[in-house]
Structure 1
Amino acid sequence: MSNKGEISSIAVEDGVGVLTIDSPPVNALGVAVRRALDEGIREMVQDTSVDAIILLCGGRTFFAGADISEFGKAPQVPLLPAVLEKIENCPKPLIAAMHGTALGGGYELALTCHYRIAAPSAKVGLPEVKLGLLPGAGGTQRLPRLVGPAMALDLIVKGDQVPAVQALQLGMIDAIAREGQLREDAIAYARAILAEGVPLRRIRDRNEKIAPDSFPADLFDTFRAANAASMRGFKAPGHIVQAIGASVRVPFDDGLLRERALFQELRASRESAAQRYYFFAEREAAKIAGNQKVSGPVPITSVGIVGGTAMGIDIAMAAADAGLAVTVIDIDTAAGGRARRSIADAYAAAVHDGRMTAEEVARLQDRIALADDPALLSASDLIVEFDEDPAEKQRIIRRLDAIVRTDTILATSGNTIDVEGMAVSCSRPERVVGMHFCASADAPRLVEAARCAVTSPEAIASAMHFVRRIGRVAVLTGPRRGFIANRIMSAMATQARAAIAEGSPPGLLEALLYDYGFPADHIQQISGTAFGDFDQYSTATDRTRQAPVDDEELLERLLLPVVNEGAKLLEEKGATRASDIDVVAILGYGWPVYRGGPMFWADEIGLPRVLSTLNELRARHGEAFRPSALLEEKVALGASFTRG
């Protein structure tokens, strides 16, 4: 074995060289990893005892992709394209052995190898679109040559992760190893390749899948038309279509140049800056800020759900799917068992909609127990009550407080609850938390976790860990009613009602918000009120019937109160970070991710402009537009909400 340094090593076994890169936490393709690859491949090419080369990664995953922290900094050699060129032009068979995830630049690196083998649990893909980017290291040129342009469009524009078994079927990988035996099976695979004596297979030389007669002539126009709604407002999907279009029209090297130019354009765009900001903001939301030391979350293996609401059943199913033991207490037995009816309906709907098979539902049923007696929850690690009556909620929490373990976490659901009042009525208020599970069908991932002054850091850490385990995003809030989501968006709804009362047609407001990037009928969704017959308004009619206010001013009247309310939440400690407010706005109420959220957008247009416009609106429309003290302070200091 050759020890190359802190992050790489080389071993040679019967003519097969194994270059292992181990750069925690995720083997990102930063400069240190690029150098290790460059030097390791050079050494094995020169080593006459090596006939084939395997690239393997230590830790929990294959190369995770580009190191985003290097964006905006001076490039350091070797650059990734140069390393990939060395891999692709290696004179010896070179095999990528993938485990964990091979995403973005990591999968693009695998595409430059001559062969690809993966662990059964591995996932591959090109998710750059979710950062407002496109694959910039040959992914848009090589993947169409493997799977055809139609499948490449679907895979890259969606950016989803593809499990190994499906990737093998699609041709994205060449073989699957045994779980836990990736190294051994990759070596055996390399020896089989050597025994066959086949020429090296460079993807760049494979053109059968991109031949003009292999796909419809109108493929790209049809794809744009079919995906117009999901691509609305985003810059990256259209650029991806252009790049893949180049793969079938121009020689490979010219396609690489086109891809690179489109990538650079996206990287410099506001849309990508906003999406990259959100990427980190969502991960930052999981961190508990403050000076309190947290010993760590209490291990949660059993969960109690009290109440048979649709949301309660959804959470029960998600917890069971995550491997937790779940007990659902049906408190509506007089009405024939609401929880029993709800969960039966949920199972049937999951099968009918294709979200689960009957076998998967059967496994969930084995993990979910239905009962009538709350005493059966006495040993649960975490209990969430979902009753809809505020008085009944308090009675339930008190009853649970009397029967559960002293370390059990009690969570009360809803976004208008008095979490502080609930907590102080219990014998151990430090274990009580609030949870608002967003009920929007378009944004089911958001959960606002509310802590009180007396809530222990361990209880909050445990609650947020549970939320992440069931596949949702947890954002920490203060105990105030409305939490973050309803507080900020009610400010928009209030001004929408006022503008309509003053003569602005509802359809115009909806059109302005839609053009900004919100879902259709957004005002109705956030207000719960229909402002007359919206269908009677067309955009053309609206623009002739509007009040004497220009579109930009009307849009700012709707959006700036959200920013101002967010600033007030930060003042009141109802939100920990400005980025948390943006996460809530995007996940909870459809604020377009390519705008970055209200606080990021405010920084983009400039806080001095935000402040002056609020003062102008205050002069015309009253004290609802009084700027927050924090906003005034930020402007005076030349500071921002989201930029350090």
Structure 2
Amino acid sequence: MPQPVSLAQQDHVALIAIDNPPVNALSHAVRSGLQNCLRQAIEDDEIQAIVIYGEGRSFIAGADIREFGQPPKVPHLPDLINEIEASPKPVVVACHGTALGGGLEVALGGHYRVAPPSAKFGLPEVSLGLLPGAGGTQRLPRLVSAQKALGMITSGKPITAQDAFENGLIDRITPEGPMREAGLAFARDVLEQRMPLRPTRNLGPDPGTESIFADTRAKLHKSARGQIAPQKAIDAVEASLTKSFDDGLKNERRLFLELMGGDQRAAMIHAFFAERKVGKLPELANVTPRCVADIGVIGGGTMGAGIAASAVMAGLNVTMIERDKAAAAKGHDTVRGILDGAVKRGKLSAEKRDAMMRDAFDAGSDYAALASADLVIEAVFESMDVKQDVFSRLDSVCKPGAILATNTSYLDINDIANLTSRPNDVIGLHFFSPAHVMRLLEVVVADKTDPDVTATGFALAKRLGKIAVRAGVCDGFIGNRILSHYRKALEGAVLAGASPYDVDRALVGFGLAMGPFAVGDLSGLDIAWANRKRHAATRDPRETYAQFADTLCEAGHFGRKTGRGYYDYSDGTPVPNPDLTAILEQERLAKGITARALDEQDIIDRYMAAMVNEAFKILDEGIALRPLDIDVTMLNGYGFPRWRGGPMHYAETVGLDKILSDIRSFAKEDSYLWQPAALLERLVTDKLCLASLNG
């Protein structure tokens, strides 16, 4: 079996190659191999300089995730990096692809660093609830400014080679090509010019400004609300300026181990693995997706334009169809505007944008233009009549084998599929708005959907850079069904005596970026109102239906777009809508409810109990296959705080028995809304954990 690290020699330079596909992860074998090769090179009198580089597509993209949760084995990464740095012979690290996490920390241990223009550098540990634990918080501020180091470490976002060069992280930008040769060329320069050893630990850290750490703490208190790792990372970087290097390393290790044993790290590791497992479905084993190169999008509104822009930027050819030429022109401009935004953010060049709009996108009003499309996504108004008309037209013009997808949020996809002569080719692709930004895509599998159509949905999601979750057919699928249920619970909390502002404040404190009532105002209260009216005829008379949202809509208060909703936006800054107090008092009086104060924990408990209870019903019905599918859905589509791992992970953390006890307690107030899920009751009775359902 080939070794993942090998040693070669050219002239007087040792060439240490890391070859551990696919991304040269820092496995135990890689660490051991690096140490052995380094020691051999140091002991060899003929060797005057050392180059460390990666084979394949990357330098080192971080830790080996297969070793997560296992006891660490020697050599430990911090010790290995210290050994690299202490080499009596100059060490050049040649990075290509990505140098992330421990990979960048290895590079920081070298004396010099080179990379081609396409390389990326980052320390993404905060995304796992950690901070760099192998010297990254101490070495990076000695190469770049304290401000730059704080930004990289607390955000986890990678930077480009040009950015790294301009800030002193790397010493040369090399031509694209084999890194063996690039590293060797720089090592020869080091020897010929007699460049000194330059251990990073010996460099003086940038002192920064007096307020830099306080300002960063305050900023992250808002942008990373509730997260511990970014704040601890600030402490670690600050220590690089106030402590000796060795004491700074000890402090970094102490903080790292504190985070390693914490709930947030466990939650974020759970989210990390859940997102990698969510697309691995038994029904798709050995199923080949259909080929998709040309797609159609029906509808040029916000959603349709977002889908079209996302597809164009992913290299697909897109034809957008609208009701008439004027609407098509407007849709065309909306797509152009999204691509313009990508250019401004540096995600796309102006030349590429122009080529995409010229060669890969077209907008019109004739369905015949879709005759050669491999897949068509309908994104029109949420009305069964409108969608039935669209699918009848598509059925008549699309070629055999073309996939017909609906972006419906709630409607029955089986009913839509059965309108066509090809129900096996029909699927739900539920994008989230804005579609070119949001990562979640619910792939909704109807009763007759062919497996290769489902596989194509997952393949398309991957191509678009999205995370796909399989869902079955029901009203609202996974996410919107859970949303509908916890919204009813929160409306019940308002009827019980909390204000919408109490609810928003409690849930923002819990970790949401915005409270649910503020979100309703942002998206438009008329959308949910239309859905409630759709269900009015079939609503169970036992339901304690909260009417205050309808009353606001009847008065024309639809949220931000009308200047008033739950909040009043007339002066720019949202304040409570003064009309709502009287509306709530009248409804409570009519329902015989005596208002009482609800504390923040009571509100959070209702929110979580409602979410988790409905999730267990969805699991029991097979709408979602596993608890992890629900976690991934709520994390990526509904703003659930990632550092809590998802609602199902949270439920297991606090205890399924606690969730069930809360449901039974709330049932005394509303026995219809709070009916315990049978699956939840079985798990609690049998003392089973969610791992039994995640297989």
Letter in 2 for 1:469: R
Would you say the 8 A contact 1:145–1:204 is kept in 2?
yes
Aligned with residue 409 of structure 2, among 415, 430, 453: 415
Q: Which deviates the most, 585-594 or 125-134?
A: 585-594
Letter in 2 for 1:135: P
Q: Which residue of 1 aligns with 2:541?
A: none
Displacement of 1:150 after TM fit? 1.0
Q: Which deviates the most, 431-440 or 360-369?
A: 360-369
Aligned with residue 263 of structure 2, among 262, 267, 270: 270
1:387 maps to 2:380: yes
Q: Which residue of 2 aligns with 1:595?
A: 644
The separation in 1 between residues aligned to 2:237 and 2:181, in whole angstroms, is 36
Give 5+ residue unaligned stretches, structure 1. Answer: none
Cα shift readout 1:262-311 (whole Å, capped 9, x = no counterpart): 11111111111111111111222222x23454332223222221211122
Letter in 2 for 1:394: Q
Give the alignment's Cα RMSD to 1 decimal.
2.5
1:261 maps to 2:254: yes
Displacement of 1:240 after TM fit? 0.7
Output the TM-score relative to the length of structure 1. 0.92
Q: Which deviates the most, 306-315 or 527-536?
A: 527-536
Would you say the 8 A contact 2:496–2:595 is kept in 1?
no
Displacement of 1:78 after TM fit? 1.3
Letter in 2 for 1:141: Q
Change (3 A) 1:345 1:15: closer
For the residue of structure 2 that corresponds to 1:621, the secondary structure is coil
Structure 2 counterparts to residues 196-215 of structure 1, below 5 A = 196-207=193-204, 209-210=205-206, 212=207, 215=208
Change (3 A) 1:606 1:336: closer
Change (3 A) 1:121 1:354: closer
The separation in 2 between residues aligned to 1:69 and 1:489, in whole angstroms, is 34
Q: Which residue of 1 aligns with 2:555?
A: none
Aligned with residue 227 of structure 1, among 181, 200, 220: 220
Would you say the 8 A contact 1:504–1:547 is kept in 2?
yes
Q: Which residue of 2 aligns with 1:20?
A: 17
For the residue of structure 1 that corresponds to 2:493, the secondary structure is helix
Would you say the 8 A contact 2:329–2:363 is kept in 1?
no
Displacement of 1:555 after TM fit? 2.3
Q: Which residue of 2 aligns with 1:294?
A: 286
Q: Which residue of 2 aligns with 1:477?
A: 471
Change (3 A) 1:75 1:336: closer
Displacement of 1:337 after TM fit? 4.2
Displacement of 1:357 after TM fit? 5.7
1:504 maps to 2:553: no
Output the TM-score relative to the length of structure 2. 0.86
Displacement of 1:438 after TM fit? 0.9
Change (3 A) 1:336 1:34: closer
Displacement of 1:48 after TM fit? 2.8
1:556 maps to 2:605: yes
Change (3 A) 1:338 1:442: closer
1:370 maps to 2:363: yes
Displacement of 1:641 after TM fit? 2.2
Displacement of 1:484 after TM fit? 1.1
Q: Which residue of 2 aligns with 1:35?
A: 32
Q: Which deviates the most, 20-29 or 233-242?
A: 20-29
Q: Which residue of 2 aligns with 1:127?
A: 124
Change (3 A) 1:565 1:68: same
Q: Which residue of 2 aligns with 1:216?
A: 209
The number of residue pairs the alignment matches comes to 631
Change (3 A) 1:634 1:442: farther
For the residue of structure 2 that corresponds to 1:624, the secondary structure is coil
Aligned with residue 402 of structure 1, among 393, 396, 413: 396
For the residue of structure 1 that corresponds to 2:396, the secondary structure is helix
Structure 2 counterparts to residues 419-568 of structure 1, below 5 A = 419-439=413-433, 444-526=438-520, 528=525, 529=549, 530-531=565-566, 535-536=575-576, 547-568=596-617
Letter in 2 for 1:574: I
Letter in 2 for 1:503: G
Structure 2 counterparts to residues 266-345 of structure 1, below 5 A = 266-287=259-280, 289-291=281-283, 293-333=285-325, 337-345=329-337
Aligned with residue 571 of structure 1, among 587, 611, 620: 620
Q: Which residue of 1 aligns with 2:589?
A: none
The separation in 1 between residues aligned to 2:29 and 2:347, in whole angstroms, is 42
Q: Which deviates the most, 129-138 or 52-61?
A: 52-61
Cα shift readout 1:583-608 (whole Å, capped 9, x = no counterpart): 11122111111111111110000111
Q: Which residue of 1 aligns with 2:584?
A: none
The separation in 1 between residues aligned to 2:328 and 2:434, in whole angstroms, is 28
Letter in 1 for 2:235: Q
Would you say the 8 A contact 1:165–1:176 is kept in 2?
yes
Give 5+ residue unaligned stretches, structure 2. Answer: 526-548, 550-564, 569-573, 582-593
The separation in 1 between residues aligned to 2:40 and 2:395, in whole angstroms, is 65
1:236 maps to 2:229: yes
Would you say the 8 A contact 1:304–1:377 is kept in 2?
yes
For the residue of structure 1 that corresponds to 2:282, the secondary structure is coil
The separation in 2 between residues aligned to 1:342 and 1:121, in whole angstroms, is 31
Aligned with residue 111 of structure 1, among 108, 112, 133: 108
Q: Which residue of 2 aligns with 1:154?
A: 151
Change (3 A) 1:250 1:567: same
Letter in 2 for 1:570: L
Displacement of 1:360 after TM fit? 4.3
Would you say the 8 A contact 1:54–1:94 is kept in 2?
yes
The separation in 1 between residues aligned to 2:278 and 2:686, in whole angstroms, is 26
For the residue of structure 2 that corresponds to 1:623, the secondary structure is coil
Q: Which deviates the most, 112-121 or 67-76?
A: 67-76
Cα shift readout 1:552-589 (whole Å, capped 9, x = no counterpart): 23321222010011111111111122111111112211
The separation in 2 between residues aligned to 1:371 and 1:531, in whole angstroms, is 39
The separation in 2 between residues aligned to 1:225 and 1:625, in whole angstroms, is 40
Displacement of 1:338 after TM fit? 4.0
Would you say the 8 A contact 2:165–2:173 is kept in 1?
yes
Would you say the 8 A contact 2:439–2:465 is kept in 1?
yes
Residue identity over aligned pairs, in percent, reads: 39
The separation in 1 between residues aligned to 2:103 and 2:333, in whole angstroms, is 47
The separation in 2 between residues aligned to 1:134 and 1:345, in whole angstroms, is 38
Cα shift readout 1:215-235 (whole Å, capped 9, x = no counterpart): 212221122223331121000
The separation in 2 between residues aligned to 1:466 and 1:556, in whole angstroms, is 37
Aligned with residue 666 of structure 2, among 604, 617, 622: 617
Letter in 2 for 1:315: I
Q: Which deviates the most, 439-448 or 468-477?
A: 439-448
For the residue of structure 1 that corresponds to 2:334, the secondary structure is helix
Would you say the 8 A contact 2:656–2:684 is kept in 1?
yes
